[in-house]
Copies of this chain bind each other. A is one copy, B any other.
Amino acid sequence: MNNEETIAHARERVVESVAKNMHLYGVTPSIGRIYGTLYFENEPMTLDELKEELHMSKTSMSTGVRTLIDLNMVEKVWKKGERKDLYKIKADWYQNFIDLFCVQWRKGTQMNMEALTKSLSEFEKVLEEEPSEAIAEQVRKDIEKITYAINYYHWLNQVVNLFESKEIFKLTNKNENP
């Protein structure tokens, strides 16, 4: 096996591994492969180049790249005298992780919080109407559970803040060598 082949294989291994774990970012392996390809390619790439490299349709490249742009993992760049759009990676993996983590959990937290507070106030209203003791007992238990959940989401929000504020970097040594 010559050098070029060795290099290609070594790259492919990494790209494939990254792609396989990309589901943690809510992204399919195919899109992960786009990311990996852009990571190793030193120059920004066009949709056609990606299509060529990955043997997939241009449509898929288009939507895939857009997904990555939405995730803030890729950006469009402009080059003089080039008609095609060029895309390059945004290779701050630390920031990517934080962005993703925060967006995902913030969103989940918020949705659940809305449901929880709404239901909580309904439960409280039921209690105020002096229902039968059986019902009151039941509702009290439900309120307890909802309160637990609300507290949990408050905590989760604190965790998210820890990342969003970059405070997490003070607690870990970001550039430590292996």
Chain A residues within CB distance 8 Å of chain B: 3-4, 6-7, 9-11, 13-14, 16-18, 20-21, 24, 39-40, 42, 91, 93-94, 97, 104-105, 108, 111-112, 114-116, 118-119, 122-123, 125-126, 129, 131, 135, 138-139, 141-142, 145-146, 148-152, 154-156, 158-159, 162, 168, 171-178
Contact = CB atoms under 8 A, between A and B. Distances in A.
B135 A4 contact: yes
A5 B156 CA distance: 31
Contacts of A97: 156
A20 B107 CA distance: 11
Sorted nearest first, the 9 A-B pairs with minimum C-beta distance are: A17-B115, A10-B119, A21-B108, A158-B172, A10-B122, A93-B152, A13-B115, A17-B112, A3-B131
Contact of A162 (B145, B152, B172): B172
Contacts of A162: 171-172
A160 to B, nearest CB: 10
Contacts of A138: 7
A105 B23 CA distance: 11
Given A21-B112, A171-B162, A119 B13 contact: yes
A104 to B, nearest CB: 6
B154 A17 contact: no
A25 to B, nearest CB: 10
B6 A126 contact: yes
